């Protein structure tokens, strides 16, 4: 399965060679070739400063600048052009280097099944003291981390908060508690990822309770709308799922799992590739091993909604994985291992 990763990476390498920077680079090269042709056919004159100088020296033209000034201006323009080409070259080399290093990391992931590194932040954002307090008082996952990882968690959370637009509906007021608990759920799920910000979510809508959907003509507790890049939650149900930690029901985790799945299908960073590829392995495992699938259904450990379709399977098993890891590991160690690999969840308790 991991060969698919290598193939995907090749697409990425191709992308790097089809970038805007290279397009501009090609234009510069063709323009240079054009100039050489003009010189070859002795049509070079209009490209030189002297050509314009002689034109400007016509008696009717006022002589504001001395000839030396024109040479200086010409030199300046040339300097800017050279600097521009240099910057384009550096940008292009950066892209190529990233693609090559990315390819090497994919090779590493072929065996390690995880990214080479997760956290690297030259500049770290920090939360407000009242925000940290909410995290410390209410978010168990955060409290189980060591100090270094707590710092990373806060940086990621601050970045996520800055990036997403929270809106209350039907009179619901977005408080700091709402923002922190919802965002921390996303940050927890992607804490084993390198790219953690889920760009396929722009807006988070919060209703006070289940809301009526005109599309489905039914009440909803939450949903992820990929087209609108919007995650929708009913606060009553979110907080209920959040407070009861081991009932394998957690609306926030469920909806974010859908969003992460969609996001990973559309991105080619190492964490997205591992997430999607490992989920495909899990699906194939369940498709080929009918006994295992039946055992999973019969056990009632995973709620039956999981078997609606693959997308719900993914969301429900992740909900179960986060809320009941010990039981999951004991009952279905193979599936548990796949989920741990998908999320790169190497944290205390998992
Ligand atoms: Zn769902």
The answer to the question of residue 123 being in a domain is no
Across the range 322-335, mean pLDDT stands at: 95
Same domain, 184 and 91: no
Sign of CA dihedral 225, 231, 233, 238: positive
Which range marks the domain in which residue 205 is found?
129-343
User: DSSP label at 18?
Assistant: T
Across the range 269-293, mean pLDDT stands at: 93
Same domain, 104 and 140: no
User: pLDDT for 49-74, tens place per residue?
Assistant: 677 777 666 655 555 666 677 667 77
User: DSSP label at 14?
Assistant: H
Separation of 151 CA from ligand 1 center, angstroms?
31
Separation of 319 CA from ligand 1 center, angstroms?
10
Q: pLDDT-derived band of residue 13, with 50, 70 and 90 as boundaries?
A: very low
Separation of 48 CA from ligand 1 center, angstroms?
67
Separation of 111 CA from ligand 1 center, angstroms?
32
The total number of structural domains in the chain stands at: 2
Separation of 45 CA from ligand 1 center, angstroms?
70
Same domain, 212 and 272: yes
The answer to the question of residue 121 being in a domain is no
Phi/psi at 218 (nearest 5 deg)?
A: -155, 165
CA dihedral 126, 129, 133, 139 (to 10 degrees): -10
Residue 332: predicted pLDDT: 96
> CA–CA separation, 197 vs 190, rounded Å?
8
More confident residue, 119 or 27: 119
pLDDT cut 70: percent of the chain above it = 84
Across the range 1-17, mean pLDDT stands at: 46
Separation of 112 CA from ligand 1 center, angstroms?
30
Range with the largest mean pLDDT of 107-116, 238-247, 307-316: 307-316
Long-range contacts of 118-123 (CB under 8 A, 24+ apart): 118/192, 118/193, 118/194, 118/344, 119/149, 119/152, 119/194, 121/152, 121/155
Across the range 307-314, mean pLDDT stands at: 94
Residue 214: predicted pLDDT: 82
Same domain, 206 and 301: yes
The answer to the question of residue 179 being in a domain is yes
The answer to the question of residue 22 being in a domain is yes
The answer to the question of residue 118 being in a domain is no
Residue 65: predicted pLDDT: 63
Same domain, 167 and 306: yes
Residue 15: predicted pLDDT: 43
pTM: 0.77
pLDDT cut 90: percent of the chain above it = 63
Same domain, 142 and 239: yes
Which ranges constitute the DSSP H helices of 164-211? 176-189
Separation of 308 CA from ligand 1 center, angstroms?
9
Q: pLDDT-derived band of residue 12, with 50, 70 and 90 as boundaries?
A: very low
Same domain, 156 and 87: no
- Write out the two tokens for 53: 């100088």
The last residue of one of the domains, among 112, 140, 158, is 112
The answer to the question of residue 124 being in a domain is no
Across the range 7-27, mean pLDDT stands at: 52
Separation of 249 CA from ligand 1 center, angstroms?
11
The last residue of one of the domains, among 112, 142, 167, is 112
Same domain, 85 and 178: no
User: pLDDT for 174-231, tens place per residue?
Assistant: 999 999 999 999 999 999 999 999 999 999 999 999 999 887 788 999 999 999 999 9
Ligand 1 ion local residues (Cβ < 5 A) = 312, 315
Separation of 321 CA from ligand 1 center, angstroms?
15
103 has a pLDDT exceeding 70? yes
Same domain, 160 and 188: yes
Kindly report the number of other CB atoms within 10 A of residue 330's CB atom. Answer: 11
Across the range 257-281, mean pLDDT stands at: 94
Separation of 253 CA from ligand 1 center, angstroms?
10
7 has a pLDDT exceeding 70? no
The answer to the question of residue 300 being in a domain is yes
Separation of 257 CA from ligand 1 center, angstroms?
8
Phi/psi at 18 (nearest 5 deg)?
A: -115, 20
List the CATH number of the domain containing 289.
1.10.472.150
Residue 152: predicted pLDDT: 97
When the pLDDT of each residue in the chain is averaged and rounded to a whole number, the result is: 87
The answer to the question of residue 349 being in a domain is no
Which ranges constitute the DSSP H helices of the chain? 3-17, 20-40, 49-56, 67-112, 129-138, 140-143, 147-163, 176-189, 235-243, 251-265, 270-288, 290-299, 310-323, 325-331, 333-343
Same domain, 190 and 313: yes
The last residue of one of the domains, among 112, 141, 174, is 112
Residue with token string 């790219």: 195
Residue 41: predicted pLDDT: 65
Across the range 274-290, mean pLDDT stands at: 94
Same domain, 168 and 31: no
Across the range 300-327, mean pLDDT stands at: 94
Q: pLDDT-derived band of residue 10, with 50, 70 and 90 as boundaries?
A: very low
Same domain, 179 and 280: yes
């Amino acid at each position: 399965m991991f060969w698919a990763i290598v193939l995907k990476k090749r697409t990425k390498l191709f992308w790097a060679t089809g970038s805007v920077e290279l397009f501009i680079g090609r234009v510069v090269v063709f323009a240079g070739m054009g100039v050489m042709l003009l010189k070859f056919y002795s049509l070079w004159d209009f490209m030189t400063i002297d050509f314009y100088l002689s034109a400007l020296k016509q008696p009717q033209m006022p002589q504001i600048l001395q000839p030396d000034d024109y040479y200086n201006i010409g030199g300046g323009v040339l300097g800017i052009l050279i600097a521009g080409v240099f910057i384009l070259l550096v940008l292009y080399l950066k892209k190529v280097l990233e693609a090559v290093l990315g390819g090497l990391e994919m090779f590493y992931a072929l065996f390690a099944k995880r990214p080479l590194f997760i956290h690297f932040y030259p500049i770290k954002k920090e939360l407000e003291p009242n925000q940290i307090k909410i995290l410390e008082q209410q978010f168990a996952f955060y409290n189980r981390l060591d100090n270094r990882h707590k710092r990373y968690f806060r940086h990621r959370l601050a970045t996520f908060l800055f990036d997403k637009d929270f809106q209350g509906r039907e009179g619901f007021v977005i408080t700091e508690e709402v923002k922190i608990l919802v965002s921390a759920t996303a940050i927890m799920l992607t804490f084993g990822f390198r790219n953690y910000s889920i760009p396929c979510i722009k807006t988070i809508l919060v209703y006070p309770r289940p809301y009526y959907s005109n599309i489905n003509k039914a009440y909803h507790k939450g949903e992820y709308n990929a087209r609108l890049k919007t995650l929708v939650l009913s606060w009553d149900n979110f907080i209920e799922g959040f407070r009861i930690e081991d009932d394998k029901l957690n609306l926030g985790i469920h909806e974010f799992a859908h969003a992460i799945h969609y996001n990973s299908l559309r991105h080619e960073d190492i964490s997205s590739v591992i997430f999607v590829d490992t989920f495909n392995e899990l699906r194939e495992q369940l498709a080929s091993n009918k006994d295992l699938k039946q055992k999973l259904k019969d056990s009632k450990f995973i709620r039956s909604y999981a078997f609606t379709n693959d997308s719900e399977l993914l969301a429900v098993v992740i909900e179960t994985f986060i809320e009941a890891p010990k039981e999951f590991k004991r009952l279905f160690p193979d599936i548990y291992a796949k989920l741990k690999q998908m999320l790169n969840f190497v944290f205390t308790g998992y």
